[in-house]
Structure 1
Amino acid sequence: MDVLVLIGRILFAALFLNSAIGHLTQSKAMAGYAGSKGVPAPQATVLASGVLLLAGSLSVLLGVWADLGALLLVIFLVPTALFVHNFWTLSDTEARQGDMVHFLKDIALAGAALMLMALFSFADDDLGLTITGPLFDID
């Protein structure tokens, strides 16, 4: 089971690590998009979310307080879904559909990250193939 969880961590974290790199290296373009969606202080928000994504994805990937890393990803995903992919505010059918897909993807990934958080917290040090045990003790 340890190897399956490790493979899952790698696959799960890859998406967020790639997004973190994009946030940190293409922040001007992303800030323009975020600003068009009404995100306050878009440049600072994009950079802060890039750091949040980087910390969360590396934590899950490496197994360093992976439960905290999964929580950091939830903290990124839910506001992004609600404020950036707010499809219900759009009148253009194509844009609405695209944002709805992104909204649902973000909410589903937030659910998966919450399950990962619970798994790491519940399994404690029994999970294996992690550098540290969990930060939180959820029973």
Structure 2
Amino acid sequence: MTRPADSFIIFIARLALAILFLWGGAMKLLGYAGFVGYLNAKGVPYASYAAILATVIELLGGLALVLGVRARAVGFLLAGYAIVTAVFGHDFWNMTQAAAQQEAVIHFWKNVAIAGGFLLLTVTGAGRASIDGLRAPRGGGLRG
């Protein structure tokens, strides 16, 4: 069981992670054709389907983070998503221009760090300030 202060910090962490994904998903949706073109240029297989999947994951995942719904599963899914996007979207090992390569290195490791945050969420859960927290049984009584 988490203390109220812990739950508040977990809530803030969930919001910080969600902002990135809600914004990214909205931008993908608004610039959908450009996003599909970007995925094609990166050599992502089935780019039109990958674009739909990425947009849905970001929007629904971000919303689930804000609400604290199935946070452990969502955290695990988004950790994997962050790693996949790091590998496909920030492939610095394929770049020859030094400035672009340096920027891609930063974004690659940023995605790895975000995946680490999601793995922590997988372990901690959403905390009390969440739908998951509202559904969790409260201690004190005998369990049958």
Distance in 1, matches of 2:13 and 2:117, equals 11
SS in 2 for 1:14: helix
Percent sequence identity over matched residues? 32
Tell me the TM-score normalised to structure 1 length. Answer: 0.85
Distance in 2, matches of 1:76 and 1:23, equals 15
Unaligned runs of 5+ in 2: 134-144
Alignment of 1:1-139 (within 5 A): 1=5, 2-120=7-125, 127-133=127-133
Distance in 2, matches of 1:27 and 1:102, equals 21
Deviation at 1:18, TM superposition (A): 0.6
Coordinate RMSD, CA, aligned: 1.5
Distance in 1, matches of 2:28 and 2:76, equals 19
Distance in 1, matches of 2:36 and 2:108, equals 19
Deviation at 1:101, TM superposition (A): 1.2
Distance in 2, matches of 1:75 and 1:59, equals 16
Letter in 2 for 1:93: A
Distance in 1, matches of 2:71 and 2:8, equals 15
What is the aligned length?
128
The structure whose RCO (Cα within 8 Å, separation 6+) is larger is 2
Unaligned runs of 5+ in 1: 122-126, 134-139
- The answer to whether the Cα contact below 8 Å between 1:56 and 1:71 also exists between their aligned partners in 2 is no
Distance in 2, matches of 1:46 and 1:75, equals 16
Measured against aligned partners, the alpha-carbon deviations of 1:49-108 in whole angstroms (never above 9, x if no partner) come to 110112221111101111122122112211111122110111111111111111111111
Deviation at 1:4, TM superposition (A): 2.1
Deviation at 1:17, TM superposition (A): 0.8
Letter in 2 for 1:11: A
Tell me the TM-score normalised to structure 2 length. Answer: 0.82
- The answer to whether the Cα contact below 8 Å between 1:74 and 1:113 also exists between their aligned partners in 2 is yes
Bigger Rg, structure 1 or 2: 2
Partner of 1:137: none
After the TM superposition, list the runs of 4 or more consecutive aligned residues in structure 1 that deviate by more than 4 angstroms. none
Distance in 1, matches of 2:103 and 2:13, equals 27
